[in-house]
Chains A and B, each alone.
Chain A
Amino acid sequence: MTRPRVGTRRAWDVIVIGGGHNGLVNAAYLSRAGKRVLVLERRPVLGGAAVSEQIYPGFTFSVFSYVVSLLRPEIIRDLDLPRHGLHILPLESTVTPLPDGDYLAGWADPDQTRREIYRHSPRDADTTIEFGRLMYHMAMAVKPILSMIPPDPTSLAPSDLAALVRLGGHFRSLGAERFHALYKLMTMSSADYLDAWFEFEPLKATKSASGIIGTFLGPRSPGSAYVLLHHYMGEIDGAFRAWGFAKGGTGAISNAIADAARAFGTTIRTEAPVARVLVKDGRATGVALESGEEIKAPVVVSGLDPRRTFLELVDPSHLPGDLVDRIRRLKFRGSSGKVNLALAELPNFTCMPGPGPHLRGAFSMSPSFDYLEQAFDDAKYGDFSRRPYMDIVIPSMIDPGMAPPGKHVMSIFVQYAPYHLNGGWTDPKREAFGDAVVDTLAQHAPNLRSSILHRQVLTPVDIERITGLSEGNIFAGELALQQLFFLRPAASWSRYRTPIRGYYQCGAGTHPGGGIMGASGRLAAMAILAD
């Protein structure tokens, strides 16, 4: 990057558009390297989709993203996030209520989990151990890629070749068995993949659920096995895992990163929406705010998704036509909704009555592949799922500070809620969607409906409106194979640069992608500092 000219005093070296967690990570790393960085956030709160807000007085919701599993350990270390308030609490169990009134549970303790699975299938109890080991190796195989600026496989540049050779060596070191398993994971559906391992349907379905989160795929769609792996990666760090629930909600993660960035010298402005990036002679010169204010900087970084980065913040006429076409065809297709509840009392689950440790973990509405696939079928034809897949946590059971003493908040991640709903989303449809969620859950926890003090229902359209994520896609672009690694977001432009000199991208729409991971922001900072 260009250095400030001698004799002139420029206010900013870098402007980062968007105070989402990747934008903040990017700013923190750039400030750490001595750059003068300004972050511009449209909303009054920082974090993008990782925000905690008191939507109902006294009750704090992790409005969108609600657990943390993928946050890169090197970011936690480099930015010393624990000093800035990041505190990850254990989220230990998953319970799947079953239609016959029974349940399937996974606990923190392996013996307890084994005994529980054995109750349903002695064979699967054994398989779980082997499967866990393989997935662990798979995640280890992919892990180095997460911290790598993607090389261009068609390039003959020495740095690309060196990176490709390293990558090739890495895959060769896996051995044939693991390489084959990885190949299957990259190409199969999670249902097919899991069928080869397990027999107990609710166990398979619950494991497959992480393969559909945030994507417009069902468990029987090819490619869903990769999303499964993407989520598994958060669980591989053993005792050092960053998997769990952030104290104060996911907004606390964003705030910790923001505090770290400020400690390095970053300036952050909220309620400062950027209208467009200023471009002169093929290079970025600053930004214009919606207020009309113009701020100059030789480097501008967009933390927004690729559609906004390439098609809205700049005039596409500055860009090659094939790139514009590729970005226009990127798949977003938001498929998830969120229902946040303020509760007067704890839900009483018929399958596990009364209070207990299960209320401190997750509940998964995933009794069978058929259930999940039928939920997807609704969405495929433009309806929200009448009986949706849901991932439910009660954050106030983990962090009592999320609600007044004795009261609770419940976070319900829901699939499927297609962005392109038949006839479009309206207020009555949003409420009907909320009703479908509460009705489904109330079948398993009958006291739920009467204990609701406040209900917040978010459709993909709401997610788009509030966070700016196009089509409400929680990953800033689907985690589909054709949109990953050196193709994320587009071939030749996967390395955080753009055809406009001085204009960079750092959002989850770049490699390695979604979840509260921060890797995109960090890798982008490295690319910027290298230029």
Chain B
Amino acid sequence: MLKTTPFHSRTAPLVQGAAWRRWAGYSVASAYELVHDREYAAVRHAAALFDVSPLYKYQIRGRDAVRLLDRMVTRDVTKASVGQVLYTTWCDAHGKVIDDGTVSRLDDQTFRLTAAEPNLRWLGMNSFGLDVAIEDVSEAIGALALQGPLSRAILNRAADREVDSLKYFRVAPNVIAGVPVEISRTGYTGDLGYEIWVPAAQAVPVWDRVVTIGADYGITAAGIWALDLARIEAGLVMLDVDYHSSRRAMIEDQKSSPFELSLGWTVSLAKGPFNGKRALAAERAATPAWRLVGIEVDWDALETLYAAVHLPPSLPSIAWRTSVPIYRGGEQIGYASSGGWSPLLKKYLALAHLRAPHYEPGTGVEIEVTVEHQRRPAAARVATLPFFDPARRKS
């Protein structure tokens, strides 16, 4: 049996179409309603509530907690103040990405790391000789992501202390329904949003409180299908979909550096030694061989391909996660790793890995589409990520 999250007693009755999926050994909802349009829309116009408890979470405590994390991840953790959250990658010695996640500084000597994959062994290997205690709190802590323009209004009423003063990528302790929680201004949607970190045993009252208050604001429990569309619009990568952990890669070509994932901004070469620093310093000096970019498919071109077989364009309403070739001048120059129709932007979008020099924004490319069983090239354009970036995300 798969594990269930601390919110399962609340989420399970909401799943109308038995649309469950696996995530890190847990079962979570792909969608709650039979049609997931509304769950997606809630992210962009009201507030969507995601159960993100399956994230791997580690608590790192002790005098050398900063040193451990700073030598492990690519961001400069020494500069993180208490209450700050860093999004970061971490690499192997060759500068290839192992995983990505967040580092939250909860107090002077206490941090929480979130990750897509298990990292206990890697943390242990990096902590040799350091004065730290590493605890896997993945099961002890439940997590909710409340995302959308009205998320702030809901939390201001649902939590004991207002969240107006909580800045982007900051975390602060709070209380919801009498339960001590941490609320961080973070998420995976590129919108205004918060994540609530709650002791697993007291998770249900927190859910109930947020949902009750949220009712007046159109709060909607939302599943992974909605999240996937939102994160593509936000240009956020997903491990095992858009890249592979260097630990799991079977061949060198399956590995990526932060620069190749367009995550060069998370690499601080100014700080002290860290895993992969030398390789990353060398790579920064050169032009990255690959880059992760956005792709916007030309709608008229797509419509023409479908019209040739007397059909209107049809696209799946669920984002895809397969490798799709990208061409330029008849030659394959890369591949898209996830994509979908954006109901908000009314555009067909994809995240793609393109080889130099084809990744400059505005470059005309072709993406393979399958129209009535025939593979066809559709005109598309390289776009800057994120596709959607509302001012409210940071304001």
Q: Which residue numbers of A lie inside 8 Å of B, CB to CB?
A: 73, 76-77, 81-83, 87-90, 92, 107-109, 111-112, 140, 173, 236-240, 242, 247, 357, 360, 397-401, 405-406
**Cβ proximity bits B58-91 to A, threshold 8 Å, 1 near / 0 not:** 0000000000000000000000000000000000
- One of B32-40, B169-177, B245-253, B261-269 at the interface: B32-40
The reply to whether the CB of B312 lies closer than 8 angstroms to some CB of chain A is yes
**Distance in angstroms between the alpha carbons of A140 and B313 in the assembled complex:** 12
The reply to whether the CB of B217 lies closer than 8 angstroms to some CB of chain A is yes
The reply to whether the CB of B346 lies closer than 8 angstroms to some CB of chain A is yes
- Going nearest first, the 6 A-B pairs with the smallest beta carbon separation are A405-B216, A109-B34, A400-B218, A108-B35, A90-B37, A406-B216
**Cβ proximity bits B34-49 to A, threshold 8 Å, 1 near / 0 not:** 1101100100111000
- What residues of B have a CB within 8 angstroms of the CB of A401 in the complex? 45, 150
The reply to whether the CB of B345 lies closer than 8 angstroms to some CB of chain A is yes
Q: Which residue numbers of B lie inside 8 Å of A, CB to CB?
A: 17, 33-35, 37-38, 41, 44-46, 150, 153, 216-218, 299, 310, 312-317, 341, 343-347
**Distance in angstroms between the alpha carbons of A401 and B47 in the assembled complex:** 12
- What residues of A have a CB within 8 angstroms of the CB of B344 in the complex? 82, 87
- What residues of B have a CB within 8 angstroms of the CB of A240 in the complex? 313, 315, 341, 346
**Distance in angstroms between the alpha carbons of A398 and B42 in the assembled complex:** 9
Give B157's nearest chain A residue, CB to CB.
A405
**Residue contact A239 to B45, C-beta cutoff 8 Å:** no
**Distance in angstroms between the alpha carbons of A360 and B33 in the assembled complex:** 13
**Distance in angstroms between the alpha carbons of A268 and B48 in the assembled complex:** 37
- What residues of A have a CB within 8 angstroms of the CB of B345 in the complex? 82-83
**Distance in angstroms between the alpha carbons of A399 and B315 in the assembled complex:** 26
> In this complex, which of B33, B34, B314 has the most chain A Cβ atoms within 10 angstroms of its Cβ?
B34
**Residue contact B312 to A405, C-beta cutoff 8 Å:** no
- What residues of B have a CB within 8 angstroms of the CB of A87 in the complex? 44-45, 344
**Residue contact B38 to A239, C-beta cutoff 8 Å:** no
- What residues of B have a CB within 8 angstroms of the CB of A238 in the complex? 312-314
**Residue contact B299 to A77, C-beta cutoff 8 Å:** yes
Known: A77-B346, A238-B312, A405-B217. 7 other contacts (CB 8 A): A76-B346, A83-B345, A108-B37, A240-B315, A401-B45, A405-B153, A405-B216
- What residues of B have a CB within 8 angstroms of the CB of A360 in the complex? 38
- What residues of B have a CB within 8 angstroms of the CB of A108 in the complex? 34-35, 37
Question: Shortest beta-carbon distance, A472 to chain B, in Å?
Answer: 32
Question: Shortest beta-carbon distance, B323 to chain A, in Å?
Answer: 22
Question: Shortest beta-carbon distance, A346 to chain B, in Å?
Answer: 11
**Distance in angstroms between the alpha carbons of A335 and B33 in the assembled complex:** 38
Tell me which of B33, B34, B216, B315 contacts A239 (CB under 8 A). Answer: B315
Tell me which of A89, A237, A242, A406 contacts B41 (CB under 8 A). Answer: A89
**Residue contact A92 to B346, C-beta cutoff 8 Å:** no
**Residue contact B216 to A112, C-beta cutoff 8 Å:** no
Question: Shortest beta-carbon distance, B38 to chain A, in Å?
Answer: 5
- What residues of B have a CB within 8 angstroms of the CB of A400 in the complex? 46, 150, 216-218
Question: Shortest beta-carbon distance, B375 to chain A, in Å?
Answer: 21
**Distance in angstroms between the alpha carbons of A92 and B38 in the assembled complex:** 9
- Give me 5 A-to-B residue pairs in the complex whose CB atoms sit less than 8 angstroms apart, sorted by A's number: A82-B345, A90-B35, A140-B312, A239-B316, A400-B150
Interchain pairs with CB closer than 8 A, number: 72
**Residue contact A89 to B317, C-beta cutoff 8 Å:** no
**Distance in angstroms between the alpha carbons of A89 and B218 in the assembled complex:** 12
Do A237 and B218 contact each other (CB < 8 Å), given the known contacts A82-B344, A92-B37? no
Give A111's nearest chain B residue, CB to CB.
B34
- What residues of B have a CB within 8 angstroms of the CB of A109 in the complex? 17, 34-35
Question: Shortest beta-carbon distance, B36 to chain A, in Å?
Answer: 10
**Distance in angstroms between the alpha carbons of A112 and B343 in the assembled complex:** 23
Question: Shortest beta-carbon distance, A116 to chain B, in Å?
Answer: 13
Question: Shortest beta-carbon distance, B138 to chain A, in Å?
Answer: 34
Question: Shortest beta-carbon distance, B379 to chain A, in Å?
Answer: 14
- What residues of A have a CB within 8 angstroms of the CB of B38 in the complex? 89-90, 92, 360
Give B302's nearest chain A residue, CB to CB.
A240
Question: Shortest beta-carbon distance, A151 to chain B, in Å?
Answer: 21
**Distance in angstroms between the alpha carbons of A239 and B217 in the assembled complex:** 26
Question: Shortest beta-carbon distance, B322 to chain A, in Å?
Answer: 18
- What residues of A have a CB within 8 angstroms of the CB of B343 in the complex? 88, 239
- What residues of A have a CB within 8 angstroms of the CB of B17 in the complex? 109
**Distance in angstroms between the alpha carbons of A90 and B220 in the assembled complex:** 13
- What residues of A have a CB within 8 angstroms of the CB of B317 in the complex? 239
Question: Shortest beta-carbon distance, A113 to chain B, in Å?
Answer: 10
- What residues of A have a CB within 8 angstroms of the CB of B347 in the complex? 77, 82
Give A239's nearest chain B residue, CB to CB.
B317
- What residues of A have a CB within 8 angstroms of the CB of B44 in the complex? 87
**Residue contact A236 to B312, C-beta cutoff 8 Å:** yes
Do A239 and B341 contact each other (CB < 8 Å), given the known contacts A77-B346, A399-B45? yes
Give B313's nearest chain A residue, CB to CB.
A240
**Distance in angstroms between the alpha carbons of A88 and B41 in the assembled complex:** 9
- What residues of A have a CB within 8 angstroms of the CB of B153 in the complex? 405
Question: Shortest beta-carbon distance, B327 to chain A, in Å?
Answer: 23
**Distance in angstroms between the alpha carbons of A398 and B315 in the assembled complex:** 25
- What residues of B have a CB within 8 angstroms of the CB of A81 in the complex? 346
**Distance in angstroms between the alpha carbons of A401 and B150 in the assembled complex:** 9
- What residues of B have a CB within 8 angstroms of the CB of A92 in the complex? 35, 37-38
**Residue contact A247 to B34, C-beta cutoff 8 Å:** no
- What residues of A have a CB within 8 angstroms of the CB of B310 in the complex? 173
**Residue contact B41 to A90, C-beta cutoff 8 Å:** yes
Question: Shortest beta-carbon distance, B383 to chain A, in Å?
Answer: 12
Tell me which of A83, A89, A111 contacts B45 (CB under 8 A). Answer: A89
Give A238's nearest chain B residue, CB to CB.
B314
Question: Shortest beta-carbon distance, A208 to chain B, in Å?
Answer: 25
Question: Shortest beta-carbon distance, B340 to chain A, in Å?
Answer: 10
- What residues of B have a CB within 8 angstroms of the CB of A173 in the complex? 310
Question: Shortest beta-carbon distance, B90 to chain A, in Å?
Answer: 35
Question: Shortest beta-carbon distance, B67 to chain A, in Å?
Answer: 45
Do A112 and B34 contact each other (CB < 8 Å), given the known contacts A240-B341, A242-B346, A405-B217? yes
- What residues of B have a CB within 8 angstroms of the CB of A405 in the complex? 153, 216-217
- What residues of A have a CB within 8 angstroms of the CB of B217 in the complex? 400, 405
**Distance in angstroms between the alpha carbons of A90 and B343 in the assembled complex:** 10
Give A82's nearest chain B residue, CB to CB.
B345
> In this complex, which of B217, B317, B343 has the most chain A Cβ atoms within 10 angstroms of its Cβ?
B343
Question: Shortest beta-carbon distance, A276 to chain B, in Å?
Answer: 39
> In this complex, which of B41, B44, B150 has the most chain A Cβ atoms within 10 angstroms of its Cβ?
B41
> In this complex, which of B45, B46, B299, B316 has the most chain A Cβ atoms within 10 angstroms of its Cβ?
B45
- What residues of B have a CB within 8 angstroms of the CB of A399 in the complex? 45-46, 218
- What residues of A have a CB within 8 angstroms of the CB of B313 in the complex? 238, 240
- What residues of A have a CB within 8 angstroms of the CB of B316 in the complex? 239
> In this complex, which of A82, A89, A242, A398 has the most chain B Cβ atoms within 10 angstroms of its Cβ?
A89
Give B348's nearest chain A residue, CB to CB.
A240
**Distance in angstroms between the alpha carbons of A109 and B31 in the assembled complex:** 13
Do A73 and B37 contact each other (CB < 8 Å), given the known contacts A239-B317, A400-B217? no
- What residues of A have a CB within 8 angstroms of the CB of B34 in the complex? 107-109, 111-112
**Distance in angstroms between the alpha carbons of A359 and B88 in the assembled complex:** 43
Give A357's nearest chain B residue, CB to CB.
B33
**Residue contact A82 to B37, C-beta cutoff 8 Å:** no
**Distance in angstroms between the alpha carbons of A81 and B344 in the assembled complex:** 10
Give B216's nearest chain A residue, CB to CB.
A405
**Distance in angstroms between the alpha carbons of A239 and B319 in the assembled complex:** 12
Question: Shortest beta-carbon distance, A522 to chain B, in Å?
Answer: 15
**Residue contact A237 to B312, C-beta cutoff 8 Å:** yes
**Distance in angstroms between the alpha carbons of A405 and B310 in the assembled complex:** 47
> In this complex, which of B41, B44, B346 has the most chain A Cβ atoms within 10 angstroms of its Cβ?
B346
- What residues of B have a CB within 8 angstroms of the CB of A237 in the complex? 312
Question: Shortest beta-carbon distance, B216 to chain A, in Å?
Answer: 4
Give A237's nearest chain B residue, CB to CB.
B312
> In this complex, which of A83, A108, A406 has the most chain B Cβ atoms within 10 angstroms of its Cβ?
A108
**Distance in angstroms between the alpha carbons of A405 and B316 in the assembled complex:** 35
Give B42's nearest chain A residue, CB to CB.
A89
Question: Shortest beta-carbon distance, B110 to chain A, in Å?
Answer: 36
**Distance in angstroms between the alpha carbons of A348 and B154 in the assembled complex:** 25
